[in-house]
Amino acid sequence: MANRAYLLLHDYPEPVLHNTTGVSIALAASYSMPVFWISAFSLDCVKSISVPVVNDRGDESSAKVPTLHSDIATAVMRSEAKREFLLNYLPSALLPQYQEWLTLLKNATKRYLQMDIAELWMMAEPQEFEKTLNKCLNAFDRRHAAEVDLLFCQANLDLDGQRKIKYYDKTDVYGLIGYKW
């Protein structure tokens, strides 16, 4: 089973679990947080949610894990504001995916967007995961090379010598936008 992130659409003003009634999983991603998804959020969007966990002995409990949550209108504005940043890194073969991303957000019929990253959090050391998440969110504004590299690297995207995403094949879109669920 892949450890996935889920992009959720719903009408709940607070974060919810992906299997909550009325929640739509718009997209999914395996082992990464797609770059376009992250563009819809800011550090202010980092919230905690309690998720069920099972330890090595099979005992069930719960853990507080980070999630990203925003109203759709603000998420659209954030992604559009990061357009120039994103287009600087996209080779021409991947430009249509950015428009596809904006179309998905603008056509959403739910009021809230949430990035469920609990499964990814469970794969990592909690403090390290939260540092990575914060650096990825900061990469758009601060543009520090190390944070930008991390943003793309964690999404399994490589940058070439001109700081463009290396386009290998059509699977590169998964690191940008994920896949339909």
| C-alpha distances out from residue 126 to 10, 120, 136, 140, Å | 26, 10, 15, 23
**Domain boundaries of the chain, sorted by first residue:** 4-180
92 phi and psi, to 5 degrees? Answer: -55, -35
Give per-residue pLDDT as tens, 59-90: 999 999 999 999 999 999 999 999 999 999 98
Tokens of 176: 């940008």
Tokens of 65: 């894990």
- Asked if 167 and 91 count as a contact pair (C-beta separation under 8 A), the reply is yes
The residue with tokens 């209108």 is 73
Q: What is the pLDDT of residue 55?
A: 85
Residue percentage of the chain with pLDDT more than 90: 81
Residue 2 has pLDDT above 70, yes or no: no
Rounded CA gap, 15 and 91, in Å?
Answer: 34
Tokens of 126: 């909690």
> How much is the pTM?
0.94
Q: What is the pLDDT of residue 81?
A: 97
Rounded CA gap, 174 and 86, in Å?
Answer: 15
Rounded CA gap, 136 and 151, in Å?
Answer: 5
Give per-residue pLDDT as tens, 76-134: 999 999 999 999 998 888 889 999 999 999 999 999 999 999 999 999 998 999 999 99
Q: What is the pLDDT of residue 92?
A: 85
- Asked if 111 and 71 count as a contact pair (C-beta separation under 8 A), the reply is yes
| C-alpha distances out from residue 82 to 105, 108, 128, 138, 143, Å | 14, 19, 25, 12, 11
